[in-house]
Amino acid sequence: MPRTAEPGRREAILDAAHTVFARKGYAAAGIADLAGELGIGHGTVYRYFTNKRDVAAAVLDRALERIAAVVAAEDAAASTTLDEYRDQVRRIGLRLYRLFADDPALARLVFIDLAAVDADLRDRVMVAQELFAAYTAAYLTNGVERGFLRAGLDVDTLSRVINGIIVAGAAEVARNPGHAALRDRWIEAVVTLMFGGLARR
């Protein structure tokens, strides 16, 4: 008689996989490592997932959803004054970097390790990056339309540039998770580039 799925077991396996992949790397980790992390048999893992790659896809999807939830937590068009707009940018940056600081493996798993498993997982990351770029472009568009940012900006390209900076900052913050001052410097760097630029005036 087949055994039924236990509530919460799938999420527990994904939590364990996240930890094991972060510690050993995807290539070196096996189903035995995931099962060992939870103190369960191999068969229990296979009741929820077909193979290690199936686990990796679910870990990646869940991680991307966590990032998307932070990015989409605010209304891109909500800010109506320059101060509100600056505060919104700082708030989003703080939430993102807090997410990466609380889970130092997150950025590496998403943008490096799991994206390199195969073409399908790489494509999932690229689709997510396009979604994140669309969110950032919406914030930039609001800034341009309200006169907070310069007219005529290439918001599609700039959204990707800004997101690239944020990902680089996430990797740095993840390596120094208790360093709040470093996190704040990265946030202020993004704010400076958006509102002040780099040219001498």
The answer, yes or no, to whether residue 64 has pLDDT greater than 60, is yes
196 has a pLDDT exceeding 60:
yes
Share of the chain above pLDDT 90, in %: 51
Model pLDDT for residues 130-182, shown as the tens digit of each residue:
999 999 999 999 999 999 888 999 999 999 999 888 888 887 877 776 677 88
The whole model's pTM is what?
Answer: 0.85
Nearest to 140 by CA among 92, 99, 107: 92
What confidence category does residue 201 fall into, taking pLDDT thresholds of 50, 70 and 90? low
Whole-number average pLDDT of the chain: 88
Domain boundaries, position 180: 60-195
Average pLDDT over residues 39-58: 93
How many Å apart are CA 13 and CA 20, to the nearest integer? Answer: 10
Do 182 and 114 fall into the same domain?
Answer: yes
Q: For 87-134, how does the pLDDT look when each residue is reduced to its tens digit (9 = 90+)?
A: 998 898 888 888 888 888 888 888 888 999 999 999 999 999 999 999
Looking at the structure, tell me whether residues 184 and 108 fall in a common domain: yes
Pair 98, 130 in one domain: yes
Q: Do 76 and 169 lie in a common domain? A: yes
Alpha-carbon distance of 148 to 140, in angstroms, equals 9
CATH of the domain at 9: 1.10.10.60
Neighbours of 24 (CB within 10 A): 12
Task: Note whether 93 and 187 are within 8 A (CB).
Answer: yes
